[in-house]
Amino acid sequence: MSDEAKPALPGRPGAPRPPLGGAPKGPRPQRPAAQPPGPSASSMRLRKFLMLGILVTCVALIGAIGWRIWQKMHAKERGSLVIGEEFDKAMDIGKGASKDIFSIQTKVWGQSKELTPEDFTTIKAKLVELRDCHDKLKELLDVLHERHKEESAEYGQIVPKWLQVKMWILDATDLLENQKPPEYGGLNIPMFLTSEKIRKSQDALKEINTLKDEIIKRNDPEEIKTTRKKLADLRDAFRSHAVKLQDLDKYVADGLARPDLTIKDVIELEQLRDDANKAQMAVVATGKMLQAFPE
């Protein structure tokens, strides 16, 4: 055997191993950083609600500031109001509107005409003026309250006029809501129509009373029967008219939420209650006259 060193076989212990993967490689390239995940749908909704909340808060804040500024400016205006002058101006407007509406309504019982669409258009426009008058009177009452003058003569003067204007508004409003003839809605037309019926029934009763003695003297059974029928019908009519006016009286009290109204508060109540009393007295008078004509 030769003393020369023999080449070591691959895999032999002690032999150098060749590098894995062949020739040595360069530095490994850096991996790109991972991108963060995008916002979720729930996160977007939350942002939207937050922005909306901020917007609403800003609007409310601006409105509150504006309202406060308006209150301060309005308080100065109210404080400088001359009650008497403002009251007269408001009532001039209210009375004018009321007269215009009343002149239209009189066509129903005074001329036996129906109201036209043009009439209702005019009433609607005048109702706006009545409401303006009402609001001004209410403002004057509030000013007097702020000045602690509820016991003043001015306050006592305004309250009944304020109630009167409320009555005019109630009448016109219900008339516009019930435009069906012949009686329509509201107070004036039904009241004056009923009053006119009472007047005609009273005339008929007076005529019978004038002829009563002659009818009794003739003693004609058929004539007496006819007269008794007329009297019975008149008595029923008077009763019906009295009930109608009493219902209208309650309508006013309920509409104004004032069960203790007087003729000083609402001028229409004077005729309403007077005619209701006439109808009730006529019921009694007709009954007595019936007794003069035995069956």
Residue that terminates a domain, selected from 125, 147, 177: 177
Could you tell me if residue 38 is inside a domain? no
Q: CA 225, 293, 245: angle at the middle one, nearest 5? A: 85
Percent of the chain with pLDDT over 70: 81
Q: Are residues 205 and 274 in the same domain?
A: yes
Q: Worst-scoring range by mean pLDDT, 5-14, 109-118, 136-145, 233-242?
A: 5-14
Q: Are residues 158 and 198 in the same domain?
A: no
Could you tell me if residue 26 is inside a domain? no
Residue that terminates a domain, selected from 177, 198, 220: 177
Greater confidence (53 vs 90) lies with: 90
Q: Are residues 274 and 198 in the same domain?
A: yes
**Model pLDDT, residue 33:** 55
Q: Worst-scoring range by mean pLDDT, 22-26, 93-97, 108-112?
A: 22-26
Q: Are residues 80 and 156 in the same domain?
A: yes
**Model pLDDT, residue 72:** 56
Predicted TM-score (pTM) of the model is: 0.72
Q: Are residues 194 and 218 in the same domain?
A: yes
Residue that terminates a domain, selected from 125, 158, 177: 177
Using 50, 70 and 90 to split pLDDT, how confident is the model at 1? very low
Q: How many domains does the chain have?
A: 2
Q: Which three-class secondary structure string do you get for 121-186?
A: HHHHHHHHHHHHHHHHHHHHHHHHHHCCCCCCHHHHHHHHHHHHHHHHHHHHHHHHHCCCCCCCCC
Using 50, 70 and 90 to split pLDDT, how confident is the model at 80? low
**Model pLDDT, residue 15:** 52
DSSP letter at 293?
A: S
Rounded-to-integer distance, Cα 278 and Cα 246, Å: 12
Could you tell me if residue 85 is inside a domain? yes
pLDDT at 271 over 80: yes
Could you tell me if residue 15 is inside a domain? no
Rounded-to-integer distance, Cα 245 and Cα 259, Å: 16
Q: Are residues 195 and 265 in the same domain?
A: yes
Q: Are residues 88 and 130 in the same domain?
A: yes
Q: Are residues 114 and 200 in the same domain?
A: no
**Phi first, then psi: what are they for 221, rounded to 5°?**
-55, -40
Could you tell me if residue 33 is inside a domain? no
pLDDT at 246 over 90: yes
**Model pLDDT, residue 68:** 66
User: For residue range 14-70, what is the model confidence (pLDDT) as tens digits?
Assistant: 555 555 455 555 566 666 555 556 566 666 777 777 777 787 788 777 877 776 665
Greater confidence (276 vs 47) lies with: 276
**Model pLDDT, residue 73:** 54
- Domain extent, residue 83, equals 73-177
**Model pLDDT, residue 254:** 96
Q: Are residues 173 and 193 in the same domain?
A: no
Q: Are residues 287 and 257 in the same domain?
A: yes
DSSP letter at 20?
A: T
Q: Are residues 225 and 279 in the same domain?
A: yes
User: Nearest to residue 289, comparing CAs of 218, 196, 215?
Assistant: 215
What average pLDDT is seen over the chain?
Answer: 86
